[in-house]
């Protein structure tokens, strides 16, 4: 599909010149997100960035994003940048294309349909309650909590219990370290260590080998548990899945890779989203008060049910706005198989195209005062006026996040329960900035907050 008249297709794509040989690599390395935001501001919604010997196209024009994700999505594959993910996840939903991907997605999709996802609600409630009981203890002792550790633990426990039927709590301390490391590995490019084969005992390779050992052991335990109990709806689908062409059951490697994919894609993202949502609400008193009023009114001191969640509309808008400013998967690449045109510019075969919800979500053409946190941007009448693909925290088209309904349900429940019981404030001197050296928009370092119980107002009775 041509988005502009053919004459425009011969235009040179604008973009920063950078320095000889390296191009814009130094600015990219200094702060990728800031650099990409500047590039959008200075060169528009389609630009070309030179990174050493390679070039990438940064695309935020909504029509062009739609073209890549939906209109001509067959032409845009995961490509070279996703190869890095395979080191850890192997060949799973996130890293594969074509018939293999299609068959795997079809096999796993039923666990993520609306009715199935509703079952995640009670697990989220249980895990959040347990977390908040711990916060109450800490509040009594005047201790802060680290939101990074807490949210990661919460989403890992919920995911493991609801999809795999497995209580992962005893393993969470070990897993945090492992997950931190693999997320780094998956995104880091241009280091010498990357070029060496995996058998060379570099620090990086030793850590990757350790992480894979931990994951492999975990996968084995979960499968054994499922074989004994039958628990875990996704586990059931994965164990029963077969190749549509041959009828052969998935191999152990296929099962392992999909389990790792779901674990890694599913819990860290949701944890990062919850963390930014909590910080955003805590830092904006008028939004926080509106949120508290809604939660107290709808829940009247009870734990939320899935039906309650439908009525927590402002809570949803707080989550939406936080996902706009801080989309956990803030950048994702595609490679063009054949030559194409985007926004009237030629894109040669083999080009890498970068889509970035972070950049698109801060485009001043569609978002007034884009750096400001304002959940009322998602009031239904306001949101209805925005073009498609100006907002895509979960991607789009056939490759849209399989877990988006699950994530949104978890986020609303956890935010509502935390709001019901606590007001959070950053410990004095605490300053939080997003780190953009990873595929996910994690904050740099720990995020210490003081939880203050608000029992009288929420109607839950004294703490």
Binding site for ligand HEM (CB under 6 A): 93-94, 105, 159, 261-262, 265-266, 269-270, 273, 327-329, 332, 393-395, 399, 401-403, 406-407
Q: How far is the CB of 143 from ligand HEM (least distance, A)?
A: 28
Q: Rounded to whole angstroms, how far apart are CA atoms 380 and 378? A: 6
Q: How far is the CB of 380 from ligand HEM (least distance, A)?
A: 21
Q: How far is the CB of 106 from ligand HEM (least distance, A)?
A: 10
Q: Please, which residue, 76 or 314, has the CB nearer to ligand HEM?
A: 76
Q: How far is the CB of 99 from ligand HEM (least distance, A)?
A: 13
Q: How far is the CB of 240 from ligand HEM (least distance, A)?
A: 18
Q: Please, which residue, 139 or 411, has the CB nearer to ligand HEM?
A: 411
Crossing angle, helix 233-240 and helix 203-229, to 10 degrees?
A: 100
Helix (H) or strand (E) holding 230: none
Burial-class residue 79 by CB neighbours within 10 Å (0-12, 13-18, 19+): middle
Q: Which residue is nearest to ligand HEM (CB)?
A: 403
292 Cβ contact list (under 8 Å, min separation 6): 419, 454, 457, 458
Q: Please, which residue, 51 or 111, has the CB nearer to ligand HEM?
A: 111
Q: Nearest 5°: CA angle at 312, between 411 and 123? A: 40
What are the Cα distances from residue 77, in Å, to 24, 94, 98, 259, 386?
A: 24, 11, 9, 22, 27
Q: Please, which residue, 27 or 315, has the CB nearer to ligand HEM?
A: 315
Q: Please, which residue, 88 or 406, has the CB nearer to ligand HEM?
A: 406
Q: Rounded to whole angstroms, how far apart are CA atoms 155 and 124? A: 8
DSSP class of residue 19?
A: B
Q: Rounded to whole angstroms, how far apart are CA atoms 425 and 145? A: 10
Q: How far is the CB of 310 from ligand HEM (least distance, A)?
A: 19
> SS3 sequence, 239-308?
HHCECCCCCCECCHHHHHHHHHHHHHHHHHHHHHHHHHHHHHHHHCHHHHHHHHHHHHHHHCCCCCCHHH
Q: Please, which residue, 64 or 407, has the CB nearer to ligand HEM?
A: 407
- Secondary structure E strands in 345-432: 345-347, 352-355, 422-426
Q: Please, which residue, 159 or 449, has the CB nearer to ligand HEM?
A: 159
Q: How far is the CB of 368 from ligand HEM (least distance, A)?
A: 23
Q: Please, which residue, 51 or 94, has the CB nearer to ligand HEM?
A: 94
What are the Cα distances from residue 131, in Å, to 16, 97, 134, 306, 453?
A: 47, 38, 5, 19, 14
């Amino acid at each position: 599909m041509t988005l502009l008249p053919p004459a425009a297709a011969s235009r040179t794509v604008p973009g920063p010149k950078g320095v000889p040989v390296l191009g814009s690599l130094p600015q990219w390395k200094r702060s990728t997100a800031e650099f990409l935001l500047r590039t959008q501001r200075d060169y528009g919604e389609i630009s070309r960035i030179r990174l050493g010997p390679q070039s990438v196209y940064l695309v935020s024009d909504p029509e062009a994003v739609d073209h890549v994700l939906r209109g001509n999505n067959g032409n845009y594959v995961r490509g070279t940048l996703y190869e890095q993910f395979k080191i850890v996840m192997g060949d799973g939903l996130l890293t594969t294309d074509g018939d293999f991907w299609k068959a795997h997605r079809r096999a796993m999709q039923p666990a993520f349909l609306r009715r199935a996802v509703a079952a995640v609600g009670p697990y989220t409630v249980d895990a959040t309650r347990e977390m908040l009981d711990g916060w109450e203890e800490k509040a009594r002792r005047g201790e802060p909590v680290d939101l990074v550790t807490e949210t990661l633990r919460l989403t890992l426990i919920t995911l493991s219990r609801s999809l795999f039927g497995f209580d992962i709590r005893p393993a969470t301390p070990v897993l945090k370290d492992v997950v931190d490391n693999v997320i780094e590995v998956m995104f880091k490019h241009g280091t010498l260590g990357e070029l060496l084969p995996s058998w060379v005992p570099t620090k990086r390779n030793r850590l990757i080998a350790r992480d894979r050992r931990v994951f492999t052991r975990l996968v084995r335990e979960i499968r054994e548990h499922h074989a004994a109990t039958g628990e875990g709806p996704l586990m059931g689908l994965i164990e029963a899945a077969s190749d549509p062409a041959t009828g052969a059951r998935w191999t152990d490697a296929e099962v392992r890779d999909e389990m790792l994919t779901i674990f890694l894609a599913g819990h860290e993202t949701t944890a990062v989203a919850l963390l930014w949502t909590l910080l955003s609400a805590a830092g904006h008193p008028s939004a926080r008060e509106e949120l508290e009023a809604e939660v107290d009114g709808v829940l009247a001191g009870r734990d939320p049910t899935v039906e309650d969640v439908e009525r927590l509309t402002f809570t949803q808008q707080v989550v939406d706005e936080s996902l706009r400013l801080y989309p956990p998967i803030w950048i994702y690449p595609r490679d063009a198989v054949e030559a194409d045109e985007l926004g009237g510019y030629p894109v040669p075969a083999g080009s890498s195209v970068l889509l970035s919800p972070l950049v698109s979500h801060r485009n001043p053409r569609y978002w007034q005062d884009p750096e400001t946190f304002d959940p009322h941007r998602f009031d239904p009448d306001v949101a209805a006026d925005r073009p498609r693909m100006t907002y895509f925290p979960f991607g789009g088209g056939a490759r849209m996040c399989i877990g988006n309904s699950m994530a949104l349900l978890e986020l609303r429940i956890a935010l509502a329960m935390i709001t019901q019981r606590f007001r959070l404030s950053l410990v004095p001197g605490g300053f939080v900035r997003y780190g953009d050296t990873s595929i996910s928009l994690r904050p740099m370092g720990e995020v210490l907050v003081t939880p203050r119980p608000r029992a009288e107002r929420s109607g839950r009775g004294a703490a």
